[in-house]
Structure 1
Amino acid sequence: MNTFVIFIVIILIAAILQTSTGFGFSIMATPFLLLLFQPKEAIQINLVLSLVISLSLILKIRKDIDFGIVKRFMVGSIPGLPVGILVFTLFNMDLLKISVSITIILLTFLLIMKFRIQQTKKRDLVAGGLSGALTTSIGMPGPPLLLYFSGTDTRKEKLRATTLAFYLFIYFVSLLIQSLVAGTSVTVWKWGLLAMPAVGIGLFLGQVLFQKISQSMFRVFTYVLLFFTGIYLLFESL
C-alpha cells in the first residue's frame, strides 16, 4: 500500500509538470521510480506514461506545434539514438552523468545571465541529435530541447506543443528499442494501468496551471527544472 501511494503521488506531480510545461516527466519521475522498481521497469513505465500524456494533449495543442522544427528534431535524433547506445555501452555512466550535469548547470547559468542564440535549421538538427543521444544513454531527452528553446526565447505555447510532438516520436522509438533489446514485463503494464487515474488528474491540473502562469514565470520555472536536473545527475553520480 505504501509503495502504491508513493507511486501515485510521483506520477501525479510528474504528470502535472509534463502537462503544464511540455517537459519534466522523466526529470521528476525517473529518479523516484528507480527507488521502487528495477531500472528497466522504471524507464519503461516512464516511457509508456510520457507517451500517454503526449497523445492525450496533442490534438488540443496542435495549433501551437512548429512542425518544421519537429521534423528537424526527428531527423537529428535518428543518428543520435545509436550514438547514445554506443556511449551507454562504452563509457562509464557516472562520468557521463557528471559531464552532462555540469554542462546543464553552466548553460542554465548562462541563460539566466541573458545569453541567447539564434534558432536555425542546423541548430534544430543538433538539438534533436543531442536529445536522441541522451534518451538512449541516460533516459532524459528533455534538457537539450529545454536549453535550446530557452536560449532562443521561444514562447511557452510553442515550446510545450513542439516538445510534446517530438516526444511522441522519440519515446515511441525508445520504448520499441527497449522492448526489443531488453524485453518488457507484466509489471510495467500493470503499474502503467494503475497510474492512469493519476495521469488523468495530472492532465487536468496541468492544463489549469499552464493557463495561469505568465511567460516570465514559465522561464523561471524552466531554469529551476534545469538546475534540479543538473544537480540531481551530479549527486547521483558522485
Structure 2
Amino acid sequence: MFVDIYVFCVILFSNFLQTTTGFGYAIVTTPLLALVLPAKESVMLTMLTALIARLSMLKLVSGAGSFRDIRPLLFTGLIGSAVGAYTLAAINEYWLKIFIAIILLFTAWGLWKERRIEIKHPKRIERLVGACSGFLGSTTSINGPPIIMYYLNAGMAEDKALFRGHLTRYFLVMNVIGVILAFGFGTMQVGSLWKFVLYSLPALFFGLYFGEKLFQRINAQAFKRMTLLMVVCSAVLILANAANVK
C-alpha cells in the first residue's frame, strides 16, 4: 500500500514540474521510483507515464513552436536510442543505478551554472546533442540533460512558452521511440507495471492541471531550481541504494 501511494505522489509531483517548466519529469521520477522499485522497472514505468503526460501536454503548447523546429535533433536521437536500448538489455542493475546517479549530478551542476559556450559548428553539435539525448533516454529514461543544456546555452529559456513547447515535442517523439525500442529488445514488461500505470492516471491529471495553473502565474526559473535540488538529493540516495545492491 505504501508503494502505491508513494508512486502516485511521485508521478503527481513530476508531472506538476514538467507542466510548469517543460522538463524535469524523468529527472525526478526515475530516481525516486528507483528507491522502491527495481531500477529497470523504474525506467520503464517512467517511460510509459511520461508518454501519457506528454501527449496530454500537446494542446497546452500548440501555440509555441512546432515539430519542424526539432527535426535536426531527431535523426541522431533515433540512432542514440537504438544504441541505448541495446545497452539497457545488457547492463546489470548496480551499474544502471550508478550511471543514473552520475548523469543526475552532472545535469544538476551544468544547469545550475547556466554557462553559455560559443558554438562554431552548431549543426554538428546539434546532431551530437540528439544522439546523446537518445542514448540517455533509452538507458535511463532521462533524456533531458543534453537537450536542456543545448537550449539553455542558446538562450531559448528567455521565452518560457517556446522553451516548454520545444522540450515537450522533442521529449514526446523520443519517448515514443524509446517505448518502441524497449518492446523490441524485450525490456518492457507491461504485465508487472499495469497496476502502477493505472494509479498514475489521476496523478498525471492533477499534476497537469495544477502545473498549468502555476505556469500562467509564476516564473519557471524558481521551479527549475527546485528541480535541481531534487536531482541532487535523488542522486545521493540512489548512490547509497546502489551500494546496498552491490
2:207 aligned with 1:205: no
Aligned to 2:21: 21
State the AA in 2 paired with 1:208: K
Name which of structure 1's ranges 47-56 and 184-193 shifts more when overlaid on structure 2: 184-193
Which of residues 87, 94, 104 is equivalent to 2:107? 104
2:197 aligned with 1:196: no
TM-score normalized by structure 2? 0.81
What SS does the corresponding residue of 2:63 show, helix, strand or coil?
Answer: helix
Aligned to 1:163: 167
Q: List per-residue Cα deviations over 1:142-170 (Å, max 9, x = no partner).
A: 11122122222212111111111112211
Cα deviation for residue 126 of structure 1 reads 2.2
State the distance in 2 between where 1:187 and 1:93 align.
Answer: 20
**Percentage of pairs with the same residue:** 21
**Structure 1 residues 43 and 74: alpha-carbon distance in aligned structure 2, compared to 1, 3 A threshold:** same
State the AA in 2 paired with 1:150: L
State the AA in 1 paired with 2:231: T
State the AA in 2 paired with 1:211: Q
What SS does the corresponding residue of 1:11 show, helix, strand or coil?
Answer: helix
State the distance in 2 between where 1:223 and 1:125 align.
Answer: 28
Aligned to 1:177: 181
Contact 1:104/1:230 (8 A) holds in 2 = no
What SS does the corresponding residue of 1:195 show, helix, strand or coil?
Answer: helix
2:119 aligned with 1:115: no
State the AA in 1 paired with 2:146: P
State the distance in 2 between where 1:98 and 1:18 align.
Answer: 20
Which protein has the bigger helix share? 1
Which of residues 146, 152, 155 is equivalent to 1:153? 155
RMSD value, Cα: 2.7
State the distance in 2 between where 1:96 and 1:39 align.
Answer: 11
State the AA in 1 paired with 2:42: A
**Structure 1 residues 2 and 93: alpha-carbon distance in aligned structure 2, compared to 1, 3 A threshold:** closer
State the distance in 2 between where 1:185 and 1:96 align.
Answer: 24
Aligned to 2:12: 12
State the AA in 2 paired with 1:53: A
**Structure 1 residues 231 and 194: alpha-carbon distance in aligned structure 2, compared to 1, 3 A threshold:** closer
Q: List per-residue Cα deviations over 1:153-197 (Å, max 9, x = no partner).
A: 212111111111112211111112222322413231222122211
Contact 1:66/1:158 (8 A) holds in 2 = no
Count residues with an aligned counterpart: 233
Which of residues 184, 191, 194 is equivalent to 1:186? 191
Q: List per-residue Cα deviations over 1:117-155 (Å, max 9, x = no partner).
A: 469443332221111011122321011122122222212
What SS does the corresponding residue of 1:78 show, helix, strand or coil?
Answer: helix
Name which of structure 1's ranges 56-65 and 87-96 shifts more when overlaid on structure 2: 87-96
Name which of structure 1's ranges 121-130 and 81-90 shifts more when overlaid on structure 2: 81-90
**Structure 1 residues 198 and 90: alpha-carbon distance in aligned structure 2, compared to 1, 3 A threshold:** closer
Contact 2:82/2:181 (8 A) holds in 1 = no
**Structure 1 residues 126 and 232: alpha-carbon distance in aligned structure 2, compared to 1, 3 A threshold:** same
Cα deviation for residue 230 of structure 1 reads 5.2
Contact 2:78/2:177 (8 A) holds in 1 = no
In structure 2, list runs of 5 or more residues that go unmatched. Answer: 241-246
Cα deviation for residue 47 of structure 1 reads 1.1
State the distance in 1 between where 2:19 and 2:111 align.
Answer: 22
Contact 2:85/2:178 (8 A) holds in 1 = no
Contact 1:20/1:207 (8 A) holds in 2 = yes
TM-score normalized by structure 1? 0.83
**Structure 1 residues 168 and 12: alpha-carbon distance in aligned structure 2, compared to 1, 3 A threshold:** same
State the distance in 2 between where 1:219 and 1:96 align.
Answer: 27
2:62 aligned with 1:83: no
Contact 1:45/1:192 (8 A) holds in 2 = yes
